[in-house]
Amino acid sequence: MRSMLYVMTFVTVIGAAFWAYHENYKTQDALSEAQAVRADIRDARARLAVLKAEWAYLNRPDRLRDLAEVNFDRLGLMPLKPDQFGRVDQIAYPAPPELPITDPIEVSSAGADE
Amino acid sequence: MIRTPLRPLARILDARRKGENPDAIERENLRIRHEQMRDAARSRAEGRLLVMAVMFFCAFCVVGARMGALAASEAEEPRAQATGASIIASRADIVDRHGRVMATNMETFSLYAHPQQMVEPIRAAKELVKIFPELNEERLLKDFTGKRKFMWVRKKLSPEQKQKVHDIGEPGLLFGPREMRLYPNGALAAHILGGASFGREGVHSAEVIGTAGIEKFFDKELRDPAREGAPLELSLDLTIQAAAERVLLGGMKLLNAKGAASVLMDVHTGEVISIASLPDFDPNDRPRPLTEGDASDSPLFNRAVQGVYELGSTFKVFASAQALDLGLVNPNTIIDTSPPMRVNGHPIGEFAGKNYGPLSVSDVIVKSSNRGTGKLALQIGKKRQQEFLKSLGLFDPVPFEIVEAAGGQPLLPPRWADISTVTISYGHGLSTSPLHLAAGYAAIANGGHYVQPTLLKQAGPKLGPRVMSERTAAQSLDMLRKVVTEGTASFGEVAGYHVGGKTGTADKPRARGGGYYKDKVINTFASVFPTDDPKYVLIVTLDEPVETSGKKPRRTAGWTAVPVAAEMIRRVAPLLGLRPDIETRHLTNIINTSN
């Protein structure tokens, strides 16, 4: 009976130790994964910053103005002027849809020469 | 295992028969059994010893392997938890009111050298000069072959330059990561952004500090890691700033002006939508301040904020507004503006020696009569005039969010005599910046409240203390409108936007005292639009403009600053989302009587 108790205790200790180490390793793994993700975030952020800077640089007003001038033939872009504001009642209503043809008559020009 | 009996009966009987001692057999068997027991015990003990040895061996192996691993790997702090949200150490971006980037950071590299690690210092110096022609080869050679252990070669490298330096293959040339400030829009809003440079520098990083403008004003806030990279939102609008600068540059070139400034401000919130000063510079490559000569000739000089000028007749509306507010006059009160008028022995004249005769207060503003406003000012008195101008913020630097704003200290007369009261009523003897004037006109435009100009985006109206009654503000606004429709600023009319404003032409004072230049003027047009529901004030100031299309060169604001301002309103108002109001208004009295 006593040896049984010893064996049980021993097995419990081993089991607990195994569990504890297992959890520890899982935690370490999670930590290193978090670190890797954070490194990814940092890289992504750096990349994003560069892309944002590039976007801002490519969209700077000077460049857009020059591009609008170079491509004037195709785009015809002009600075916004006060007379470009319209009113709602200046816009035409869409043309009413044509009525559907309900009783079509077959017309053929075949043999019209005769 | 069959256990051998100690006294096997067969052998005992056999021994008895032979007369031997059967005990000998027992002893013999006992001995054999003991030997067997001893052998068994020994082999068991040996087995245990072996197991022990194996276990110890394994344990030592593990310990040894771990020690080896520890010795061979890089040291790492034991961690009990992951660190919190990563700190964003870089300087916060600056964006305009719609979130478009005005200043951001770029990762780059600096180049430094460890001459003691160099293999071929002479070749390295030669190759470096090939890549960076601005470096001095002799200097490099001296440094590389001398006793120095460390030296900076360049602060910023482009990726291509970095690759070229890599290709030299010199182990003594090393790179350090750097964060540099980038202004992607170039010279746009340069005076506001200012610039940035490196502060304390290390091999692995360097701090970026603001050197001027809003970068320096908000340096601490921009560097604060607790912001977590939240950008600083300005009230400026990039598109409108670009359009305004373009128009201003065109106007400046066309009118041969040496400088120009403009301020566009929301009259309710005090938000400055665009503020320009020409000539300007590229904040990515900020020029050095002038060491000699007049600081205002440097492109770094912000004419809209730092430049204090006598802004001329634009001040007249303040005198008339105060007279109206005090109930001294109404817009139709007649004032005799005929000569002579002498104050403290000085004659007060009109533009080009004109004589307007008796004028209503409204016409005094429309025709811009010096004697008319002078008389109003004398009625107001110097104490009340000072109080009023002070309440409009014209006595102190504007608390604007750039470091240069503190330098825009208005120049007041050292002794405020009656003559000062009169001259200041028409804008001479008191020098202020265009930004001061914008704040003053905003008070008229928003119904009588002082608003403080700001560069930060505001959530709603920020009306300050009341400085004049709503009625006075409305009457003054009507006068400003009349100046455009029938007065000196007729070129200021922009169809649909009901522009109102006042021109100002002031002779430039000589730099070393002793009166004014005859042919150098500061022309200003202070405008409000649309006057039926004022939203914005626009101040345009030109430094030494001259209009040469006529027979004689013209130097009045009506010919120079006004057309520039009108063009600016034409370009900018649609961008601000203001619809032109072309149709006839006020149809509310028409009632449909029959159906």
Q: Write the DSSP string, B166-200.
A: HHH--TTEEEEEEEEEE-TTTTTTHHHH-EEEEEE
Which residue is closest to B495 within chain A, CA to CA? A82
Residue B84, pLDDT score: 57
Which residues from chain A sit within 8 angstroms of residue B575, using beta carbons? Answer: 80
Query: Is A82 in contact with B79 (Cβ distance < 8 A)?
Result: no
Which residues in chain A are contacts of B497 at CB distance < 8 A? 82
Short-list B460, B408, B407, CA closest to B439: B408
| Strands B94-95 and B232-233, bridge-based pairing | parallel
Closest chain B residue to the Cα of A45, Cα to Cα: B88
Dihedral angle over CA of A16, A17, A18, A20, nearest 10: 80
Q: What is the pLDDT of residue B43?
A: 95
**CATH assignment, B96-136+148-232:** 3.90.1310.10
Helix (H, G, I), strand (E, B) or coil at B458: coil
Contact assignment for A49 to B104 by CB distance below 8 Å: yes
Contact B101 A56 (CB under 8 A): yes
Say if residues B475 and B251 touch (Cβ distance below 8 Å).
no
Instruction: Considering chain B, tell me which residue range(s) the CATH 3.40.710.10 domain(s) occupy.
Output: 239-288+295-575
- Decide: B277 and B302 in contact? Cβ < 8 Å: yes
Q: How far apart are CA A27 and CA A33, in angstroms?
A: 10
ipTM for the complex shown: 0.73
DSSP strands (E only) in B344-451: 346-347, 358-360, 431-432
Residue of A nearest to B104 (CA): A53
Q: For position B590, what pLDDT does the model report?
A: 57
Chain A residue numbers touching B82 (CB-CB < 8 A): 30-31, 34-35
For residue B383, which phi and psi values (nearest 5 degrees)?
Answer: -65, -50
SS3 of residue B112 by DSSP? strand
**Residue among B457, B436, B439, B433 nearest B102 (CA):** B457
Cβ-proximal residues to B545 (8 Å cutoff; 6+ apart), any chain: B252, B255, B256, B257, B521, B523, B555, B560, B561
Residue of A nearest to B181 (CA): A53
Ranges of CATH 3.90.1310.10 domains, chain B: 96-136+148-232
Tell me if B571 and A79 make a contact (CB, 8 A cut-off).
yes
Q: Closest by alpha carbon to B322, among B184, B177, B456, B425?
A: B425
pLDDT computed for residue B295 by the predictor: 75
Helices B22-72 and B9-18 pack at an angle, to 10 degrees, of 140
Q: How distant is the Cα of A59 from the closest Cα of chain B, in angstroms? A: 8
Please report the pLDDT score of residue A96 as a whole number.
85
Count of A-B CB contacts under 8 Å: 72
Residues of A in contact with B230 (CB under 8 A): none
Predicted pLDDT at B432? 92
A50/B contact by beta carbon, under 8 A? yes
Which of B90, B242, B570 lies nearest to residue A82, judging by beta carbons? B570
From chain A, pick out residues whose CB is under 8 angstroms from the CB of B238.
Answer: 61
> Cβ contact (<8 Å) for B82 and A31?
yes
Kindly list the residues of chain B whose beta carbon comes within 8 Å of any beta carbon in chain A.
79, 81-82, 86, 88, 90, 100-102, 104-107, 182, 184-186, 188, 238-239, 242-243, 246, 494-497, 570-571, 573-575, 579-580
* Residue B95 Cα to chain centre, angstroms: 8
Quick check: A34 and B105 CB within 8 A? Answer: no
Contact A82 B496 (CB under 8 A): yes
- Say which residues have a Cβ less than 8 Å from residue B483's Cβ, sequence separation at least 6: B365, B366, B368, B489, B492, B500, B501, B502, B503
Instruction: Note whether B344 and B325 are within 8 A (CB).
Output: no
What tokens were used for A81? 């002027």
Digitized pLDDT (tens) for each residue of chain B, 595 residues in all: 677 788 888 888 988 899 888 888 889 889 999 999 999 999 999 999 999 999 999 999 999 999 999 899 888 777 666 665 555 667 889 999 999 999 998 888 889 989 888 888 888 888 888 888 888 888 888 888 888 888 888 888 888 888 999 998 888 888 988 888 889 998 999 999 988 888 888 877 788 888 889 999 999 988 888 887 789 999 999 999 999 999 999 999 999 999 999 999 999 999 999 999 988 999 988 888 877 777 778 889 999 998 888 888 999 999 999 999 999 998 888 988 887 788 888 888 888 778 888 889 999 898 888 889 998 998 898 899 999 999 999 999 999 999 988 888 898 888 888 888 888 998 888 899 999 999 999 999 998 999 999 999 999 888 889 999 999 999 999 999 999 998 888 898 888 889 999 999 888 887 776 778 888 889 999 999 888 889 999 999 999 998 888 888 888 888 899 999 999 999 999 999 888 887 655 555 555 565 5
Residue whose token pair is 């020469």: A113
- Pairwise CA distance, residues B462 & B456, whole Å: 12
CB B114 within 8 A of CB B190: no
Contact B106 A50 (CB under 8 A): yes
Give CATH superfamily name and number for B239-288+295-575. DD-peptidase/beta-lactamase superfamily (3.40.710.10)
From the list B79, B82, B574, the residue facing A81 with the nearest CB is B574
Contacts of B280 (CB under 8 A, 6+ apart): B187, B190, B191, B245, B299
